[in-house]
Structure 1
């Protein structure tokens, strides 16, 4: 296992150029994923009712199973969303998500971390599908409030995300940021002292939302949300938030990005290294149809 130390670059917009692929043809030859460390089993799950508050669309938000599951809906009246009660300097953030079934063009489901002061964003978004395409996973990295200094990438998943819950996770520590799907890393960018301003270093909040993205989400807005099929319901479960909780009254945060220590919960070897890197690249290239590069994407600097 090699430690990945590539430098993050924020400034390249990757356009989706993939051809239409039917859900049946993509999933009919599915092979099991490679064995990886299940980081989602390392930390305990949180109560959504205790750790999150309503962000918007309260009437479209339902908590189930004693607050361990949240169903968020989009209808003509509104979308809906949750926001974490705490802010974090960094951590491991994960949710098991089951996307809305049926035709869902224009629907956007997002699981993301953001700071509104400097507009640093780490986003996993799911873009609704039409009759020809599956749901698309889109990862975004924005710095300093500008999409011109960010990077966006899209690719198709190697399974039907509407049939059952799948884990979508974000690792954010002093070494790198990694996006994972079912514990498999699909995108990574590293922290470099040469580019400190473009690496997330401010306390951020976690959000889970569903909303109308008709203007851009599906084929650039060609297919808007059809509310004939509403409500569109997404299920969030097995949510995890572990990291350095921001304490506004503390002068120095013991586990801040500037002062990592062995006590930091997501600074261990399993969070610094991505195991079986070559095998993962080969497997994702076979099973996931990427709109940019069908591999584990590693952002590099000085392009």
Structure 2
């Protein structure tokens, strides 16, 4: 399914990479912004990010990865979180023609559901949003959010339940992130220009500071590092979805999917993106 350049990139990965297993906020991440608003605890096993009226906060991994599975347990901002954005994502360095795989949590008024927004960029092309309501209160306890990225497919998971799959269909001309190593980011920031009801609801700063909890980051991934090796790396998770897992994903999507760019006929009034057209949709989003 993947084009020939995928195998070239895997060969390069073997020559200049090594494995990552597990993770630690002290040793594996740098403070990206926010100074002391990044609060690492328990010897690097847990962390909190804070947003106040002066700044948000965030971290970025020291390593760049080419394929892997990345898990983060997150407890989201409680109460009135409108306008806040809590993010866990992968992104390649640079701003032009970059690759990115996003999980973003868009806050809301107290008592209303969070929106989990996913997106995928390849070679600078994004606009592939799918958004879900969660079937639990994500502020009451920690839940595991995962990105599983390999040359064949990207899978987004919540508590190990897949909610979205995108297969590599570069053979159909659909961009897919295979060439560029990416860093792992976690951030909490002010997105009230767009995050809640497209910017209609702003942050209530009387509720600040806003705090999100993180713990048990895990990477089973290929680190791009000169002189090392990750021969045969696929993280052991390159087999697609079982019939039972696909059934569970369909159940989740039927109840909790609230936006799919492939169904946005207003946005794409002159025609859906190529991968969303009926003859290509099954290969891109359903086949395993």
What TM-score comes out, normalization by structure 2 length? Answer: 0.78
Runs (4 or more) in structure 1 with deviation over 3 Å come to none
* Number of the residue aligned with 2:51: 74
Is residue 50 from structure 1 mapped to residue 56 from structure 2 by the alignment?
no
Is the contact made by 2:2 and 2:151 (CA closer than 8 Å) also made in structure 1? no
* Number of the residue aligned with 1:99: 76
Is residue 289 from structure 1 mapped to residue 267 from structure 2 by the alignment?
no
Q: CA deviation at 1:192?
A: 2.9
* Number of the residue aligned with 1:215: 193
Is residue 301 from structure 1 mapped to residue 279 from structure 2 by the alignment?
no
Q: CA deviation at 1:44?
A: 5.2
Classify the secondary structure of the residue corresponding to 2:128: strand
Matches within 5 A, 1:1-303: 45-117=22-94, 118-131=97-110, 133-147=112-126, 150-195=127-172, 198-201=175-178, 202-247=180-225, 249-250=226-227, 255=230, 263-266=232-235, 268=236, 270-275=237-242, 276-285=244-253, 288-292=255-259, 301=275, 303=277
Is the contact made by 1:175 and 1:272 (CA closer than 8 Å) also made in structure 2? no
Task: Map Cα deviations across residues 182-220 of structure 1 (whole Å, 9 max, x no partner).
Answer: 000001111134157711121111100000001000000
Residues in 2 aligned to 1:291 and 1:73: alpha-carbon distance in whole angstroms:
28
Equivalent residues, number: 245
**Unpaired runs of at least 5, structure 1:** 8-42, 256-260, 294-298
Q: CA deviation at 1:131?
A: 4.0
Q: CA deviation at 1:274?
A: 1.4
Identify if the C-alpha distance between structure 1 residues 278 and 171 changes in structure 2 by more than 3 Å, giving closer, same or farther.
closer
Identify if the C-alpha distance between structure 1 residues 173 and 6 changes in structure 2 by more than 3 Å, giving closer, same or farther.
closer
Task: Map Cα deviations across residues 35-64 of structure 1 (whole Å, 9 max, x no partner).
Answer: xxxxxxxx9531110001101101201011
Classify the secondary structure of the residue corresponding to 1:185: strand
Residues in 2 aligned to 1:134 and 1:97: alpha-carbon distance in whole angstroms:
16
Q: Is the helix fraction higher in 1 or 2?
A: 2
Please say which of residues 111-120 and 61-70 is displaced more in the overlay: 111-120
What TM-score comes out, normalization by structure 1 length? Answer: 0.74
Q: CA deviation at 1:254?
A: 5.2
Q: CA deviation at 1:86?
A: 0.2
